[in-house]
Structure 1
Amino acid sequence: MVIINNFEEYKAFEGKIIGTSNWHTIDQEQINIFADATRDHQWIHCDKEKAEKEGPFKSTIAHGYLTLSLIPYLWKEIADVRNIKMEINYGIENFKFGQPVLVNSEVQLQAKLKSILNLRGVIKVTIESTLIIKDNAKPAYVGDVVFLYHFND
């Protein structure tokens, strides 16, 4: 895990991979809980028997938005940004889903610091986020997440 205490330490990673999270298994229970929370019970996610018989992947798959929702959790395994008053999830940009995540797949987040700007004391950070699927050549997605940090003086 990388520890970042201020703008200068963060800036040193610009254009570089900050790190990669631990592997996380997305199981059917997590998919079902997400389906309940979002009220998205499409059979491709929740009906194991139908997905195995009729689905294009012969398995249930995680919701794309479930995989996106893992970013804050997995990001915290990569970087510990300290000495801040507040951190804000500001946006997501240019995400493309390249590969479905089959049930019981292991995934990990790779984070690269695409840009960092000091906007009159508010630090805007754009992280290129790639969700890697274990034993798969193509990632589940690639896109940018944007955080705003208010560092302590």
Structure 2
Amino acid sequence: MIDKAFEEQTAKIGTETGLSDWVTIDQARINTFAEVTEDPQWIHIDPERAAKETPFGGSIAHGFLTLSMASKFSIDTAKSFPGQVMGINYGLNKVRFLNPVCAGDQIRGRFVLKSVTKKSDTQLLSENTLTIEIKGKDTPALIAQWLGMAIFE
């Protein structure tokens, strides 16, 4: 079954393989992320001060909060292959934060398959270019090269 999945994925290299729905990044989510990660920097959790002292007009999401949404976007868009028993986050080759996500912005994930490699008889490694877009803005929040391992029976 891995051979069929490899063949199908190889044919999709260079194409968009997923586009998630929009998700709102509100102040409550930003505050929760700050608490969980112990990163209470004021540009994230103090909207009034951020409005006065930054060029962003208010508070902004942590870059790692934006990146962490990749998991949701993947879950919402990825499809398992016949015979696949799990998928594993295999890491990132490159991440660039290009534009801050302001509290209240909506973001979504766009996946384009960059490569696929058969690592073993049970492991298929895919690299996707993930672009996290901000609704209404030309420059995305981030672009990353994300690796995922599909594990087969």
Aligned pairs (5 A) from 1:38-117: 38-82=37-81, 83-117=83-117
CA distance in 2, matches of 1:97, 1:61: 13
What letter is aligned with 1:84? Q
Task: Using the TM superposition, name which of 36-45 and 86-95 deviates more.
Answer: 86-95
Partner of 1:32: 31
Structure 2 runs not aligned, ≥5 long: none
SS, match of residue 99 in structure 1 = coil
What letter is aligned with 1:129? L
What letter is aligned with 1:16? T
Deviations 1:58-110 (A, max 9, x none): 21000000011010111122222243222111111211111000011011100
Q: How far off its partner does 1:149 sit?
A: 1.1
What is the percent sequence identity of the aligned residues?
37
What letter is aligned with 2:151? H
Higher strand share: 1
Structure 1 runs not aligned, ≥5 long: none
CA distance in 2, matches of 1:75, 1:10: 16
Partner of 1:144: 145
SS, match of residue 24 in structure 2 = strand
Partner of 2:136: 135
Deviations 1:24-61 (A, max 9, x none): 10001110110011000100000011011112212100
CA RMSD of aligned residues (A): 1.3
Q: How far off its partner does 1:143 sit?
A: 1.3
SS, match of residue 56 in structure 2 = coil
CA distance in 2, matches of 1:73, 1:11: 24
TM-score norm. by structure 2 comes to 0.91
Structure 1 segments, 4+ long, off by >6 Å, are: none
CA distance in 2, matches of 1:151, 1:11: 17
CA distance in 2, matches of 1:106, 1:78: 17
Partner of 1:120: 120
